[in-house]
Amino acid sequence: MQSPNQSIKPITTQINSAGNLEIGGCDLVELADKYGTPLYVFDETTIRAMTSAYKEAFKSYPKMKMMFAAKAFMTKAICKIMEQEEFGLDLCSGGEIYTAFTSGFDMSKTLFNGNNKSYEDINLALECGVGTISADNFFELALINQIAVSKNIIVRILLRITPGIECHTHEYIQTGHLDSKFGFDLTQIDNAIELITDEYKNLNLVGLHAHIGSQIFEKKVYFDEVEVIFKELKRLKDKYILNLHEVNLGGGLGIKYTEKDKPISVYDIAETIIDSIKINSEKYGIEEPSVFIEPGRSIIGTAGVTLYTAGSSKQVPKGRKYQAVDGGMSDNARPSLYQAEYTVQIANNPEADNTEKVTIAGKHCESGDILAKDILLPEIQEGDILCFYTTGAYGYSMSSNYNRILKPAAVLVNNGKSDIIINRQTYEQLCESDIIPDSLNR
C-alpha cells in the first residue's frame, strides 16, 4: 500500500479554475498575497493522512506507540494535531518541552531526547512532567539522578544505544553507526547498568532506545535494528536478571523530494518491524515489549510547501541563469547543509512547459545561498510565485535571522480555510533582545 511520504505534493494539491495551484482548498497565489512571502503552508489533510497511515500500518501490534519527532516542525498547533491523533512527542530541547507544555499537551506521553542535556533542560523536563528521559551518556545519568534526588522523585529512563547499523543516507544524518555522538556504545552498557543498579537509585530504567538515521529508503535496516536490540535485551536479562519492557526504534522513514527519490511506504516498514519483533522475541525468549517509533520528517515533510516571490534575475554570459527569490538559506538551510534537492512549480502558471534551466538563488549576502541548482522550469517573470514542495520538515525548525532577515509566517490550510500558526516576525521582535550598554551611550 502507498502512503503520503511517497508523493512529492500534499494530497490535496490541484490546479483550480483560476489556473493556479491550490492546496487544502486554498489558492496559493491568494495565500501569498494575503500573508506575504516567504510563506510556509501546511496541509492538515496530508498530516492527518500520514498519522492515520502509521496507525493503520502498525495496528496488528497492539503494543506499538507512536511519537512525533518534534524537531522536524514544532509549534503549539502541531502539538494539538498530534494529541488529537493520539501521538506522543519526542522532544530534544528545553524550547520543545516548553512549547508542548504550554500547548496543553499531556506531558506523560513525551520523551526527552538529546546528547547534551543541561541541568536547566532536565530540571524543566521534570518540572513540566515529561514522561520519560532517554539518557545518552554517563554524564547525563549522573545529572538526571542528582536532580531526581533533589526533587525526591523517581525518573523513568531509557538508555540510548548505538546499534552499529549504517543506513544508506547522507553522512550527516546517520545516527546509529558506531562512530556517532549519540548514545552508549554496546560495550558501555554494562557500566551504565551497574551504576543505575548500585548508585543511581532515583532512576527507573525501563528500556532501550536506538536510532539508525534519517531519510531511510530500505527495509532491512529496521529488521536488523530490532534484532540487535532484542539480542541485547536477552543478554541483560541473563546477566542482571533485568526485564526491560520498552523499546524505542527511532524514526527515519524517507520522503520523496524529487522524482529520483524512491521511498518505501510506512506499510513496508511496519511489516518488517513487526516481523522482526515476532521472530526475535521467540528467538531470544523475550516477552514482546512496548515498542515506540518516532517519525518526524515522514509525518510533516510532504504536508508542507514554501512560497516565494520571484525578483531579479541574472544571465551569466555562457553560464547559468540565476533567478532570485525573496527568501533563501535563512528559511531553508537544507540545500546549503545537505545539498538537498527540491521539486519546484510556478504557482500562478503551473501548467506551462519547462523551457529553461535556471538556478534559484536566495537574497542573502552569501554565494552559497542557492535553493535549487540547474532545474528546468518555465520562463519566470518578476512577481511569479514559486512553490517549493516537501519543505514541511526542517524548514522553519532550522530557520535563522541570518543577515537580520525576518522569519516567515506559517499557515495551516484545510477545506478552503487558512489559519496562521506562526506569525511573521517583525523588526521590533528581531531587535527586542538587543541591548546597548550604558558605556556606549556617551
Percent of the chain's residues with pLDDT above 70: 96
C-alpha cell at 84: 488529537
Position 176 scores a pLDDT of 43
Q: Measure the N-to-C terminal CA separation of the chain; round to a whole number of Å.
A: 70
Catalytic residue among 79, 365, 387, 431: 365
Q: What is the CATH number of the domain that holds 197?
A: 3.20.20.10
248-306 pLDDT, tens digit each: 999 999 999 999 999 999 999 999 999 999 999 999 999 999 999 999 999 999 999 99
d(CA 247, CA 416): 41
351-394 pLDDT, tens digit each: 999 999 999 999 999 999 999 999 999 999 999 999 999 999 99
Q: Which of 260, 281, 300 is the C-terminal boundary of a domain?
A: 300
| Nearest of 230, 264, 268 to residue 249 by alpha carbon | 230
Annotated catalytic, 365?
yes
C-alpha cell at 219: 527495509
Shared-domain flag, residues 296 and 160 = yes
Shared-domain flag, residues 246 and 137 = yes
19-58 pLDDT, tens digit each: 999 999 999 999 999 999 999 999 999 999 999 999 999 9
Shared-domain flag, residues 275 and 209 = yes
225-234 pLDDT, tens digit each: 999 999 999 9
Secondary-structure percent of the chain, ordered helix, strand, coil, rounded to 5 = 35, 25, 40
Q: Which helix (H) or strand (E) holds 336?
A: helix 334-338
Reported confidence tier of residue 167, pLDDT bands at 50, 70, 90:
low
Position 442 scores a pLDDT of 82
DSSP E strand boundaries for 316-438: 321-325, 344-346, 356-361, 370-377, 385-388, 409-414, 417-422
Q: Which of 282, 300, 318 is the C-terminal boundary of a domain?
A: 300
391-432 pLDDT, tens digit each: 999 999 999 999 999 999 999 999 999 999 999 999 999 999
Q: Considering the chain, what is the average pLDDT of its residues?
A: 95
Q: What are phi and psi of 286, to 5 degrees?
A: -105, 130
What is the pTM assigned to this prediction? 0.95
Reported confidence tier of residue 172, pLDDT bands at 50, 70, 90:
very low
Number of domains in the chain: 2
Range of the domain at 367: 4-42+304-431
